[in-house]
């Protein structure tokens, strides 16, 4: 480098800018390799980009089937996390437009935009840049950064963000694959609900949470009545269909905060956070009734299979002082339901049944 170049302020500014870009890209690469969850990766990306140009907010839209799941990543002001929003996978809104056209978009006067509705509910943003994200040659989503000032970005900023697209896409796809792998390890391979091992983890967490907040948590044990007959009469494939059928009907009867798991064999278990016994019994009865009134059609059988279940219910802290005891009490109630004729709900001292 010549002395003239060393003394040239514009040259030094260019070097400084290149160093900042390199540092930001290194941070993104490090986040891709070391983060434990997608939110951490995305927050690191937004923070790194803030070194290069003004960023007051960022958002990610990911294609999921026929819709786009939009999650807000970063805002300057602290706020509680928002639930992801699901939007149609079309060009009627910003992220959908970028994804469907596979084109980056730079806007320096957002309020004047008339082409489509805004997909990210971040009021006050007046400039933004949005890039498509690709994995294995296919567009999987879009990434947006925004600023509260008009004309906040210049052509160099837009080029830097576009250069960041591949790294961001790798980071997002890596975390999605890790999450999918983790989820598979938590799920039962036949029914798709949680497996026994993950249920044990959830049980410990929910009971500890209930103990700390002095709140109830209930548990429902479910057993498919005469399950062996389905296997013997129609084969194990039909038995698996029965298991999936009961799992799906059970999940349909629950709140989003509840959890259903396959306990083993033909048994399932349901965790109901914030539910006392008087709340849990109607839920158990709803499950029982849903299964009874929804016969299962299986290929190779002349008539639909009539499936019923027996259920036992227990609550913490009313019936048990810890997780294992909660399971044991619910299991005893389940045994009582079976001994009394099946297709019913029992809670040791109380019973609910549709005659």
Percent of the chain having pLDDT more than 90?
53
CATH topology for the 196-352 domain: Alpha-Beta Plaits (3.30.70)
Name the active-site residue from 173, 206, 241, 266: 266
Q: Does 317 sit behind a cis peptide bond, omega within 30 degrees of 0 on the bond before it?
A: yes
Q: What is the pLDDT of residue 120?
A: 59
**Stretches in the chain below the pLDDT threshold 70:** 1-25, 27-36, 74-83, 117-122, 300, 349-355
Q: What is the pLDDT of residue 50?
A: 85
Q: What is the pLDDT of residue 78?
A: 44
Domain with CATH 3.30.450.40 in the chain: 3-181
Q: What is the pLDDT of residue 352?
A: 44
Residue 208 is among the residues annotated as catalytic for this protein? no
Instruction: List Cβ neighbours of 166 (8 Å cut-off, separation of 6 or more).
Output: 134
CATH code reported for the domain at 3-181: 3.30.450.40
Q: What is the pLDDT of residue 206?
A: 96
Domain with CATH 3.30.70.270 in the chain: 196-352
Beta bridge partners of 67: 64, 88
**pTM strictly above 0.75:** no
Could you give the angle at which helices 277-292 and 236-252 cross, rounded to 10 degrees?
140
Classify the C-alpha dihedral 329-330-332-336 as positive or negative. Answer: positive
């Amino acid at each position: 480098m010549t002395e003239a170049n060393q003394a040239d302020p514009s040259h030094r500014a260019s070097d400084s800018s290149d160093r900042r870009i390199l540092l930001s890209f290194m941070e993104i690469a490090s986040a891709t390799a070391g983060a434990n969850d997608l939110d951490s990766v995305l927050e690191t990306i937004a923070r790194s980009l803030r070194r290069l140009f003004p960023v007051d907010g960022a958002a990610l839209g990911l294609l999921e089937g026929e819709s786009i799941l939009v999650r807000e990543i970063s805002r300057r002001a602290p706020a509680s996390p928002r639930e992801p929003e699901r939007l149609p996978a079309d060009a009627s809104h910003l992220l959908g437009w970028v994804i469907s056209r596979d084109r980056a978009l730079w806007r320096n006067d957002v309020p004047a935009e008339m082409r489509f509705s805004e997909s990210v509910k971040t009021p006050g943003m007046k400039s933004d840049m949005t890039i498509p994200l690709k994995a294995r040659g296919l567009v999987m989503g879009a990434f947006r950064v925004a600023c509260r000032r008009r004309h906040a970005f210049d052509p160099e900023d837009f080029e830097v963000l576009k250069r960041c697209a591949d790294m961001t896409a790798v980071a997002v796809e890596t975390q999605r694959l890790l999450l999918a792998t983790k989820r598979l390890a938590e799920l039962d391979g036949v029914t798709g609900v949680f497996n026994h091992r993950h249920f044990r983890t959830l049980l410990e967490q929910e009971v500890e949470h209930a103990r700390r907040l002095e709140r109830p948590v209930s548990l429902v044990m479910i057993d498919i009545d005469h399950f062996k007959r389905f296997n013997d009469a129609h084969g194990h494939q039909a038995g698996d269909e029965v298991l999936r059928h009961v799992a799906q009907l059970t999940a349909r009867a629950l709140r989003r905060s509840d959890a259903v798991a396959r306990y083993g064999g033909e048994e399932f278990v349901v965790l109901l956070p914030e539910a006392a016994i008087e709340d849990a019994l109607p839920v158990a009865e709803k499950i029982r009734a849903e299964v009874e009134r929804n016969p299962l059609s299986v290929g190779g059988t002349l008539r639909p299979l009539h499936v019923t279940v027996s259920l036992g219910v227990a609550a913490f802290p009313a019936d048990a002082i810890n997780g294992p005891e909660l399971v044991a009490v619910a299991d005893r109630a389940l045994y009582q339901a079976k001994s009394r004729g099946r297709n019913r709900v029992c809670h040791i001292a109380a019973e609910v049944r549709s005659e």
